[in-house]
A and B are shown apart, each in its own frame.
Chain A
Amino acid sequence: MWQNFKNGFIKENPVFGLYLGLCSSLAISTSLNNAIGMGMCVTIVLICSNILVSAIRKITPDEIRIPVYIVIIATLVSIVEMVVHAFMPELYNSLGVFLGLIVVNCIILGRAEAFASKNPIGASAIDGLGMGLGYTFALVLISVVRELIATGGISFYNPFDATQILFGFSIEALAPYTISLFSGSVGAFLTFSCFAALFAWIKQHSAKKEKEAKK
């Protein structure tokens, strides 16, 4: 079970390893705040959808399983969207259209199809948590790099009350060298490709080690 949970971070990281959910991870990773907010929303939807899909896996007819999953996911996303709109208006504005587009995030449908439809409820919930946190982890990595390069500092405010800053810092020495390009699409693609290459390198490295250990 621990293995299930851990897999989502490095080896099978949904973003860098499997290239799922790229659209939102590139668009949302402009600041640490958006990254954590989006990551939490996706994690909640992922856990709930995995639990529900797993609970009805024995009575779902095989031919219509995809539409059934889509309805479950769309319902959950609608609920999350309304809650965020009501209690975290700042986050709602900055996530914009991508909050609704969680419905078509491949990670959620992918896990429902590949894991939750075949496994018991407990394991599915853990898998959802692991994958969701892996996604959040990837978003945080990209957003920290982008925010640092684009603005020269990092700030994180309370999502329920935007005026209350929980922590933040800015590096004086970086200030003259900020590259505003990194808050746009160019920086997103560049940062992402560097991390993807790094993760591929880690994977190849550990595979090589395992091979040597077997010998």
Chain B
Amino acid sequence: MELLSMALAAILINNVVLTQFLGICPFLGVSKSAKSAVGMGLAVIFVIFGASLLTFALYKLVLVPFGIEYMQLISFILVIAAFVQFTEMFIKKYSASLYKSLGIYLPLITTNCVVLFVAQDNITQNYNLIETIVNSISVPAGFMLVLVLFSCLRERLDSADTTSSWKGNPVALVVAALMALAFSGLAGIV
């Protein structure tokens, strides 16, 4: 039950994009069509889940026993970069069609701040293994939810008649503000 409320809180209430401002770059960049938003969302869930488990193991098994916790930032970002690279190579080899549709988004995930944030959050919140697993699935699930919703709105927005200086990103950010307002209404449910 506690885990369930933790997952709900991570997806809806403390949503990474709308309340914590993480992963805004892909949120604006990859939300032009609903199809690519779904692909990006799934890729992010997979990468965050894998990278969080790896960094969790690295922290507990290497950094703490040797007393070098100050290397956390450097080692984590290296693990994430390497993991993204491996995922890319793996998908390229085994599923050409998936690679084609994800191709350009995969390398971008390295600089998606949500990945590094979740890896560090698991350590600073002192989560155990099960809590880490729940956290590192539900946080990117929240990212995917907002990304897909936002991309559907943007497809409609493209055909709307906006003033030239507001066209594109500025008006999309106004929509994001309204979404943030809507999500803040969910604050009391857990």
Give residues in A with beta carbon < 8 Å to B.
19-20, 22-24, 26-27, 66-67, 70-71, 74-75, 77-78, 81-82, 97, 100-101, 103-106, 109, 181, 184-190, 192-194, 196-198, 200-201, 204
Provide the bound-state CA to CA distance between A115 and B77, in Å: 22
Closest CB in chain A relative to B24 CB, distance in Å = 4
Given contacts A71-B78, A185-B19, A188-B21, contact A196 B173 (CB under 8 A): yes
* Closest beta carbon of chain A to B65's beta carbon, Å: 20
What's the Cα separation between A76 and B24 when bound, in Å?
A: 24
Q: Indicate if the CB atoms of B174 and A189 lie closer than 8 Å.
A: yes
Q: Which residue of chain B is the closest to A189 with respect to CB atoms?
A: B177
Residues of B within 8 A of A (CB): 18-25, 28-29, 70, 73-74, 77-78, 81-82, 110-113, 115-117, 120-121, 124, 164-174, 176-177, 180-181, 184
Distance in angstroms between the alpha carbons of A1 and B110 in the assembled complex: 32
| B121 contact set on A, CB distance < 8 A | 97
What's the minimum C-beta distance from B107 to chain A, rounded to whole angstroms?
8
A201 contacts which chain B residues (CB < 8 A)?
A: 165
- Tell me the bound Cα distance from A138 to B76 in angstroms: 29
Distance to closest chain A CB from B85 (angstroms)? 8
Q: In whole Å, how far is B133's beta carbon from the nearest beta carbon of chain A?
A: 21
Asked whether, in the complex, the Cβ of A71 is within 8 Å of the Cβ of B21, the reply is no
**Chain B interface secondary structure, helix, strand, loop or mixed?**
helix
Say yes or no: A106 contacts B73, CB within 8 Å.
no
Separation in Å of the B78 CB from the closest CB of chain A? Answer: 7
Contacts of A184 in B (CB 8 A): 19, 180, 184
Q: Which residues of A contact B172 (CB under 8 A)?
A: 193
User: Are A26 and B21 touching (Cβ within 8 A)?
Assistant: yes
Instruction: Evaluate contact between B77 and A74: CB separation under 8 angstroms.
Output: yes
Report whether over half of chain A's contact residues are helix, strand or loop; otherwise say mixed. Answer: helix
Q: A104 near B170 (CB under 8 angstroms)?
A: no
Ordered by A's residue number, 26 sampled pairs between the chains whose C-beta atoms are within 8 Å are A19-B28, A19-B29, A20-B25, A22-B25, A23-B25, A27-B20, A67-B81, A67-B82, A71-B78, A74-B74, A78-B70, A97-B120, A104-B77, A104-B113, A185-B18, A185-B177, A186-B177, A186-B180, A186-B181, A187-B177, A188-B177, A196-B169, A197-B165, A200-B167, A200-B168, A201-B165
The minimal Cβ–Cβ distance linking A147 to chain B, given in whole angstroms, is: 17
Contacts A23-B24, A97-B120, A100-B120; is A81 near B169 (CB within 8 Å)? no
Q: Is the CB of B116 within 8 A of A103?
A: yes
Q: Chain A residues with Cβ under 8 A from B111's Cβ?
A: 104, 106, 109
Contacts of A75 in B (CB 8 A): 74
The contact of B77 among A20, A70, A81, A181, by CB within 8 Å, is: A70
Interface centre among B23, B112, B116, B170 (most CB of A within 10 A): B170
Distance A192 CA – B23 CA, assembled complex (angstroms) = 16
Given the contacts A66-B81, A186-B184, A23 and B173 also touching, CB distance less than 8 Å: no
Task: Verify A197–B22 contact, CB threshold 8 A.
Answer: no
